[in-house]
Amino acid sequence: MRARARRFWLIITAGVLLTGAVGLTLYSISSEIDAFYVPADLVERGGGTVGERAEIGGLVKEGSIITLETGELRFVVEDATAEIAVQFDGFIPDLFREGQGVICKGTFVDPWTFQASELLAKHDENYMPKALEDELKEQGVYRGEEEGV
């Protein structure tokens, strides 16, 4: 085989291997990425897709927390324009309460109901996840500077 032909096949082989490596990397990363939504985003898209892994964030609606006999927690996450029902069966953070900022990780069981596998509440008086804080400020419902929030 001539040097020119060898170089051609070397470039083709390297390109195929590189494309395969990039494809496998992107595929493995995509299974770990969760979309983040606030309830207003879900209204725009017509609700969540059943089975979709995601994170939702907002404020826990006043008067919405219910604990069933089975120990399952149900509550509503809201922002200025919309609400989404959340079901959760697991460890409840000490700082979880009504009116509090919360992030829920899990899946949609129907377009307007979210089954959370993990709850994250703000951990001190000054912290709220940046994405959630920006969305709530944009909607005019962020109360981070108020006492007790």
Same domain, 57 and 119: yes
Lowest mean pLDDT among 36-45, 66-75, 80-89, 115-124: 115-124
Say if residue 95 is in the same domain as residue 42.
Answer: yes
CA atoms within 13 A on the CB side of 8: 5
**Global confidence as pTM:** 0.66
Mean pLDDT of 69-79: 93
66 DSSP β-pair partners: 74
Instruction: Using pLDDT thresholds of 50, 70 and 90, give the confidence band for residue 143.
Output: low
Residue 80 token pair: 């200025």
Rounded to an integer, the average pLDDT of 53-67 is 92
> Which residues span the domain enclosing 98?
35-139
Give the pLDDT of residue 145. Answer: 55
Whether 20 and 47 share a structural domain: no
Question: Same domain for 5 and 50?
Answer: no
Q: For residue 34, what are its two tokens?
A: 């969760």
Number of structural domains, the chain?
A: 2
Per-residue pLDDT, 132: 74
